[in-house]
Amino acid sequence: MPELPDITVYIEALSARVLGSTLLGIRVFGPAWLRTAVPPLREAEGRRVVALRRVGKRIVFALDGDLFVVLHLMIAGRLLWRAAGAKAKAGRSRVELGALEFSTGTLTATEAGTRKRASLHLLAGEAALAELDPGGLEVLDATRDAFAARLRAGNHTLKRALTDPHVLSGVGNAYSDEILHAARLSPFKQTQKITEEEMNRLHAATRATLLTWTDRMRAEAGDGFPARVTAFRPEMAVHGRYRKACPVCGAPVQRIAYAANEANYCARCQTDGKVLADRALSRLLHDDWPKTLEEMEERRPAAASGAAAPATSRRPQGRRVPRRAPE
């Protein structure tokens, strides 16, 4: 899912292309993309783009007349830009959801996969726009104390707190993994149990990670439109790097899958060498689950020779995986 760094760079690129231009029309290729009926899309035609902004993980086009076009890309949504006058491709791809046609070019929204979760809203007035805002804290604008207060307002795992849009704005699965690795904290440590020193590390790591990746993506895009928006990058420390070497200590990166999400972490850097297990795997394997990296390494020869060994990447068959991470 595009997160704060991705959305920020998208908005910067769009501002250079559509700010001050006229929205000529909105084309919708499937009913799943458009989530509002009032006002009708024709109300947006001919209006000037006066501002662009981010609301959580949403991209907002502010039009004159107090109208707002809001895009949420969800997990697999992406944006493509074609400048006015550029030759269009023949036909339409099956992944295209629709397009916003400006006087300066066309912005096409795409979504891979069969589950169409990306959305388009046309809203009238700031009050309607505010209803889409989950209210998460803007971490790059917040002080350390405000950050700590928001995290400690509830008692959840750090992984859940970082990715909850009602707690923090714009952080998702990928960058939460990177933040926790940089802070050297377990994804399942509870927010009300972290020390002041750990909170200092977490706040600093959150800011540094988001700013660093925003700068990297900005430099990668240059004057062009962002074309490589992905949650899996080889430069990342742990996210998407299951079983690969941690860049800090060399230990294999671990992974826990739960519901439709996952947590990637380094046991040596973040959990004092302890290999974490989700509830379903713990119940299934009991004492067979390796508790440390050393135990895991000892069992690898047995797995290689064909003996049964627990596989950390697979969910147990026939058992329902819990819908939320253990706290």
Q: Taking the alpha carbons of 7, 227, 213, 247 in that order, is the dihedral positive or negative?
A: positive
Q: What is the mean pLDDT of the chain?
A: 87
**CB-based burial label for 48 (10 Å; 0-12, 13-18, 19+):** middle
CATH topology for the 144-218 domain: Helicase, Ruva Protein; domain 3 (1.10.8)
Backbone angles phi, psi at 190, to 5 degrees: -85, 145
| Residue/partner pairs of 253-258 with CB below 8 Å, 24 or more apart | 254/312, 255/312, 255/313, 256/187, 256/312, 256/325, 257/313, 257/315, 257/321, 258/321, 258/322, 258/323, 258/324, 258/325, 258/326
Q: What is the mean pLDDT of residues 49-66?
A: 97
Task: Give the model's pLDDT for residue 82.
Answer: 95
Q: What is the mean pLDDT of residues 172-185?
A: 97
CA–CA dist 152, 191 (Å, integer): 6
Which of 9-13, 28-32, 201-205, 260-264 is predicted least confidently? 260-264
Which of 81-95, 121-135, 151-165, 213-227 is predicted least confidently? 81-95
How far apart, in Å, do the first and last CA atoms of the chain sit? 23
- Asked whether residue 190 carries a pLDDT value surpassing 90, the answer given is yes
266-313: per-residue pLDDT in tens? 999 999 999 987 655 544 444 544 455 555 555 554 444 444 444 444
Query: Domain extents for the chain?
Result: 4-130, 144-218
Which is more confidently placed, 104 or 297?
A: 104
CATH of 4-130 among 3.20.190.10, 2.60.40.420, 3.40.800.10, 3.40.50.720: 3.20.190.10
pTM summary value: 0.84
Q: What is the mean pLDDT of residues 21-28?
A: 97
Task: Give the model's pLDDT for residue 314.
Answer: 42
229-279: per-residue pLDDT in tens? 887 888 999 999 999 999 999 999 999 887 667 899 999 999 999 998 765
- Asked whether residue 196 carries a pLDDT value surpassing 60, the answer given is yes
In CATH terms, are 4-130 and 144-218 the same topology?
A: no
- Asked whether residue 146 carries a pLDDT value surpassing 50, the answer given is yes
Task: Give the model's pLDDT for residue 259.
Answer: 64
CA–CA dist 15, 4 (Å, integer): 16
Task: Give the model's pLDDT for residue 93.
Answer: 76
Task: Give the model's pLDDT for residue 260.
Answer: 66
